[in-house]
Amino acid sequence: MLRLVDCPGSAQLVAAIAALRSQGLQADRYCFSGWAPHDRFTAFAAEVATMASQLQPGLTGCAIALDRFTNWLRCPLSASDQQQLRQEIGLESVDELWLATGWRPKEQLLRQLYPTARCFCYGDGLGVYVAADSILQQRRGWRSRLRSWWSPATKLPQPDGGFFPFLGDCPPPFPSQRVPLTYLQDCLQTLANALPTAAIDRLRQVTAQRDWGVLLTANLSEQADGAYITPTAEIEAYRQFLAAHTPPTSLLLKPHPRDSAAKLQQLTTAIASLGIEPLLLQDPQLAFWPIEAILLRLRPDLQGLPVFTVSSAAVPLQALGAQVQLGFGSAIVQRQFTRKGRRLRRYEERQIQQWLKSQQ
């Protein structure tokens, strides 16, 4: 029984291993394709390899840059292209595919490569179930990309099952089980214990004697070339979001891999203008590790830790005990998002709020 885990990022690797453990199973290989600047993809892949070996000793995989998958998705793959890709992945045949959502274009490509494999989903991020018709899919433009590659007459095949720590109120249209949170916590703690001690010590020195919280950003203006929100408006949205609450005097900021140096400079300036000290997490040894593992190493009990976020990262952090504030709110969305982006963002925030409420 050969199991291939699709791994679009470090958080998804954690969710996949947690789901497998909950069923008493192990992965045989993973396929990593996380986004990172071209000069950092190799470093990202190396860190994922380290995490994989910590989560499941002996687990190895391949790293294929996401833009290569994007090129393959422009047209149906020839038989020789499929054979080449299977060789790069390192498995000629697969019995089970473990995918984050089951509907992303890359995931559909993997299902084409291994048409006889059963398909199981483990959730996006740290195991959040995201439906195929969700606004997250629409916002990122995957629906149109799927249409350009998948036959219009072909209905996307449903997964054979799913194992999710965070299911929300809308059950999947396929058999699914909720993964007990303890499996996710155990995986995160394993990574927390494996973090480089010197890097954590440096971070502890930064947060020592400070009243601090966390700000997690998202790659919003980078999506669709600013069609939903402009870069300037995104920075202002973060500023207004924080101004509407009472953050601690210092905020730890873990950049998103797509955040440019200019964006980070503008963001830290905006935070400082509110009288809040920005603590930018720039240590390259920690850049690609899940923020949840880093926080658990800094303070094993996240109960009451103030976290300000605008993405589905709010869901697992609340489950781990953090005091989560989800942004932006309808007023800021109305002011800062484009006409096209307002409806999509409001829908997305409502969806995340439903996930948060389902935990209470």
Last residue of a domain, one of 150, 180, 210: 180
CA 124, CA 121: separation in Å to the nearest integer? 9
Q: Which of 45-54, 153-162, 216-225 has the lowest mean pLDDT?
A: 153-162
CA 198, CA 257: separation in Å to the nearest integer? 22
Is residue 188 domain-resident? Answer: no
For residue 13, give the CATH number of its domain.
Answer: 3.40.50
Q: Is 309 within 8 Å of 327 (Cβ atoms)?
A: yes
Is residue 50 domain-resident? Answer: yes
pLDDT at 147 over 60: no
Letter string b/e over residues 181-215, b meaning 16 or more CB atoms within 10 A of that residue's CB: bebbbebbebbbebbeeebbeebeeeeeeeebbbb
Higher pLDDT, 4 or 153: 4
Q: For residue 70, name the pLDDT band (cuts at 50, 70, 90).
A: confident
Query: Average pLDDT for residues 106-128, to the nearest whole number?
Result: 95
Q: Is 262 within 8 Å of 221 (Cβ atoms)?
A: no
CA 131, CA 154: separation in Å to the nearest integer? 18
CA 18, CA 126: separation in Å to the nearest integer? 9
Same domain, 158 and 284: no
pLDDT at 137 over 60: no
Q: Which of 166, 270, 281 is nearest to 214 (CA)?
A: 281
Same domain, 333 and 256: yes
Q: Between the ranges 39-43, 62-66, 131-135, where is the mean pLDDT highest?
A: 62-66
Write down the pLDDT at residue 43.
92
Domain count, the chain: 2
pLDDT in tens, 180-222: 999 999 999 999 999 999 999 999 999 999 999 999 999 899 8
Is residue 228 domain-resident? Answer: yes
Same domain, 215 and 314: yes
Is residue 153 domain-resident? Answer: yes
CA 206, CA 245: separation in Å to the nearest integer? 23
Query: Average pLDDT for residues 335-357, to the nearest whole number?
Result: 92
Last residue of a domain, one of 180, 203, 224: 180
Query: Average pLDDT for residues 331-349, to the nearest whole number?
Result: 95
CA 187, CA 107: separation in Å to the nearest integer? 24
Q: Which two tokens stand for residue 77?
A: 């793959």
Is residue 72 domain-resident? Answer: yes
Same domain, 41 and 18: yes
Same domain, 93 and 158: yes
Q: For residue 359, name the pLDDT band (cuts at 50, 70, 90).
A: confident
DSSP label of 226: G
Q: Is 15 within 8 Å of 100 (Cβ atoms)?
A: yes
Query: Average pLDDT for residues 106-115, to the nearest whole number?
Result: 93
Is residue 35 domain-resident? Answer: yes
Write down the pLDDT at residue 152.
39
> Where does 158-287 show beta strands of DSSP type E?
161-164, 176-178, 212-216, 250-254, 277-280
Residue type, 339: R
Domain that holds residue 324: 195-359
Same domain, 338 and 211: yes
pLDDT at 143 over 60: no
Is residue 339 domain-resident? Answer: yes
Write down the pLDDT at residue 265.
96
Is residue 189 domain-resident? Answer: no
Same domain, 101 and 169: yes
Same domain, 251 and 302: yes
DSSP string, 61-120: EEE--HHHHHHHTTSPPPHHHHHHHHHHHT-S--SEEEESSS-SHHHHHHHHHSTTSEEE
Same domain, 238 and 125: no
Same domain, 231 and 169: no
CA dihedral 97, 103, 106, 109 (to 10 degrees): 70
Same domain, 176 and 237: no
Same domain, 11 and 51: yes
CA 177, CA 259: separation in Å to the nearest integer? 35
Last residue of a domain, one of 180, 210, 237: 180
